[in-house]
Amino acid sequence: MPSLSKKYPFPLSLNFNTPHEDGYLESGLYFMRAAERLGMPVEKYYGGKVDVVLNVETDNHPFVRGEKFTAYYDLDVFLPRAFDMKKFQSDADVWFTSNMPLYKIRKGLPHFLVPHATDPVLTSKRLKKEYDVVVCGRLDWAYERRRNLARELSQHFKTLVLPPTPTEKYLQAMSLGKLILNCSLSGWDLGRREFDAMALGVSVTDYSKYQNLMGVDGKHFFSYKSKKELIGVVGNLLKDEKRLEELDRISTEHVYKYHTYDVRLQSIYDTIKKLMK
């Protein structure tokens, strides 16, 4: 672990799930890799007492309390149904989330909106473009709208559907698409796939009132409000290969500057440092 410094005056322990054997990338693992790139004194929590701890997605494993400061980073969009607000308020000193409903209902405790992000190293490993559109997400019974959109796209364009398994191979498969569709933005949170899509190709996404936090519509990504509008957006983008390549470059530069896990972790650390004074 890197030495402490004026910039990083305390070590930060990350409490998160151990990575799955299938290579599934937990958010905590993304943060660990970001810390290495930043030279930030961060270590994974394995037990015992620690001064400062950041609990990452601890809805399904034990919450840890720091001796001096406790932070919570939650990304589970379904958590509001079972979240014990009173217990949480007594257990944490600050809360970070990308989940809009949770962000809106949080009162009293210091809380900050921290969207998902992308890993600049993993998303730099691109494959040659082979599809017009890559659709990200499951198409089972719970996602009828997405299934209908994918079916409509496949009738007009060369389309690949990827199930949501965020592994390195999955990210590379996303890069096969000139356009990358993630139709699960609206209403909940700013998802990891949104920023991965912006890094790996040209992102086409649901319209959301929160999308301005990602960038500029029509420049860094392209939104739609209906199936008809989606087909029109995709068709227009695919007409001009040179413009598509330029949009790809612009969105990648944007997401690497503002929406990486390095940026998110630095922001979280700086916020904790201010709150501890």
Q: Report the C-alpha gap between 24 and 122 in whole angstroms.
A: 13
pLDDT at site 77: 43
Within-domain flag for 2 = no
Same-domain pairing of 227 and 128: yes
**pLDDT tens-digit series, residues 257-267:** 999 999 999 99
pLDDT at site 87: 56
Within-domain flag for 94 = yes
**pLDDT tens-digit series, residues 15-39:** 987 655 445 567 888 999 999 999 9
Within-domain flag for 4 = no
Within-domain flag for 47 = yes
Side-chain-side CA neighbours of 270 within 13 Å: the count stands at 10
pLDDT at site 186: 53
Within-domain flag for 243 = yes
Other beta carbons within 10 Å of 77: 17
Q: Report the C-alpha gap between 89 and 110 in whole angstroms.
A: 10
Within-domain flag for 213 = yes
Domain that holds residue 67: 12-117+260-276
On average, the pLDDT of the chain sits at 85
Within-domain flag for 58 = yes
Q: How many structural domains is the chain composed of? A: 2
The answer to whether 186 and 207 have CB atoms below 8 angstroms apart is yes
Same-domain pairing of 95 and 182: no
Tell me the β-bridge partners of 182: 205
pLDDT under 50: residue ranges of the chain: 21-22, 76-82
Same-domain pairing of 139 and 264: no
Q: Report the C-alpha gap between 163 and 171 in whole angstroms.
A: 11
Residue (of 170, 140, 135, 131) closest to 150 by Cα position = 135
Same-domain pairing of 202 and 214: yes
pLDDT at site 114: 87
CATH code (residue 95) = 3.40.50.2000
Note the residue count of the chain: 277
pLDDT at site 82: 46
Within-domain flag for 68 = yes
Same-domain pairing of 180 and 130: yes
Same-domain pairing of 18 and 76: yes
pLDDT at site 81: 44
